[in-house]
Amino acid sequence: MIAALRRIRSEVLGINRRNHGYLFAYNPRARYRVVDDKQATKVALAAGGVRAPSLRHVCEAQWQVRRLAARLAAEREFVLKPARGAGGAGIVVVVGRRGDRFVKASGATLRARDLEAHACDVLAGAYSPGGRADRMLVEELVVPEPVLGAFSYRGVPDVRVLVFRGVPVLAMVRLPTRRSDGRANLHLGGVGVGVDLASGCTTFAIQAGHPVRVHPDLGRMLTGVAVPAWPEVLDLAVRAADAVGLGFLGVDVVLDERHGPLVLELNARPGLGIQMANRRGLRPLLERVARASLPVSAGERVALGRALAYDCGSSR
């Protein structure tokens, strides 16, 4: 038992080491503004040839709220996001209509004036760091491809890929639940499912820090699932990291039934629950990549990351 605890402590990356050893060392401060602003992120991704869900509308001022509400009245499905929000705060996923009401992923309904009130809150900075004035973005709703979509409760699952120095090092599928209101964030109640980087198959699952075997709402077994388009998912994550110029970040990729893999969001301060979902610590992987002489092409760096999954001990 003592030996096991010592091994875990030597392998698991903690918040302080993440901040001082990786965020401060590998993420230039000037690049944070690109990742911390979802609209700026889309511009950077587009410039790098990286696909993302389309941006339908932008609301920048209070006087535009009524006009936006009128446009949304003609929409059936969409996602509202604060441009500077983090951790899923302020995101509203609308999956359909019931008369003149908008149906959220949880099944709850909203009136047009509820959306207007939410837009006003976003613009006032209710979800941005420090309460700074913000913009509200309206994105197209991703249509999940059927494999991962079958494991998602009324929302869009995504694949979080942790990329260090342009090399994918760990990945997990994040699944929405009833509790998370259609959002995939783990701290909101989503399920995290570790993915073996080499094979692209799911290995282990957690919710609220505890192991789970089946989806809490759907009853489906969560392990042994092959993630579709796995090489493309990793390649897209690596190219997204290249596009924004950060050395340590989380890339959230969604699999859209119509468009294939898309980059949903980037996180310059990724959480560390991905270690629990994979039952392995980050430190050995990061130390290997930090010492390595890295290839230039994204494809070769993806191959390196997949090889390290075995060299440093695959998910167990």
* Distance separating alpha carbons of residues 104 and 144, to the nearest angstrom: 16
CB burial of residue 21 (10 Å; 0-12, 13-18, 19+): middle
Backbone angles phi, psi at 29, to 5 degrees: -60, -35
Beta pairing class for 136-139 and 78-82: antiparallel
CATH superfamily of 2-52+144-311: ATP-grasp fold, B domain (3.30.470.20)
- Among 3-17, 263-277, 285-299, which stretch is predicted with the lowest mean pLDDT? 3-17
Report DSSP letters for 68-137, one per residue: HHHHHTT-SSEEEEETT--TTTT-EEEEEEETTEEEETTS-EE-HHHHHHHHHHHHTTTTSGGG----EE
**Is there a shared CATH topology between the 2-52+144-311 domain and the 55-139 domain?**
no
Which pLDDT score is estimated for 231? 97
Backbone angles phi, psi at 228, to 5 degrees: -65, 150
Which pLDDT score is estimated for 312? 67
As a whole number, mean pLDDT of residues 49-77 equals 90
Q: Whose structure tokens read 């446009």?
A: 71
pLDDT in tens, 274-316: 999 999 999 999 999 999 999 999 999 999 999 998 776 554 4
- Among 31-35, 227-231, 307-311, which stretch is predicted with the lowest mean pLDDT? 307-311
Specify the DSSP element, H or E, that contains 282: none
Instruction: Locate the domains of the chain by residue range.
Output: 2-52+144-311, 55-139
Which pLDDT score is estimated for 171? 98
Q: How many Cα atoms within 13 Å fall on the side-chain side of residue 266?
A: 34
Which pLDDT score is estimated for 4? 55
Which pLDDT score is estimated for 71? 86
pTM over 0.75: yes
pLDDT in tens, 153-210: 878 899 999 999 999 999 999 999 988 877 888 888 899 999 999 999 999 999 998 9
From the list 278, 272, 305, the residue with the least C-alpha distance to 22 is 272
Beta pairing class for 202-207 and 109-110: unpaired
72 torsion bin: left (phi>0), alpha (psi -120 to 50), beta (else)? alpha
From the list 4, 12, 48, the residue with the least C-alpha distance to 236 is 48
Of the two residues 133 and 106, the one the predictor is more confident about is 133
Q: What is the CA radius of gyration of the chain?
A: 19
From the list 84, 57, 51, the residue with the least C-alpha distance to 73 is 57
Of the two residues 67 and 120, the one the predictor is more confident about is 120
CATH number given to 55-139: 3.30.1490
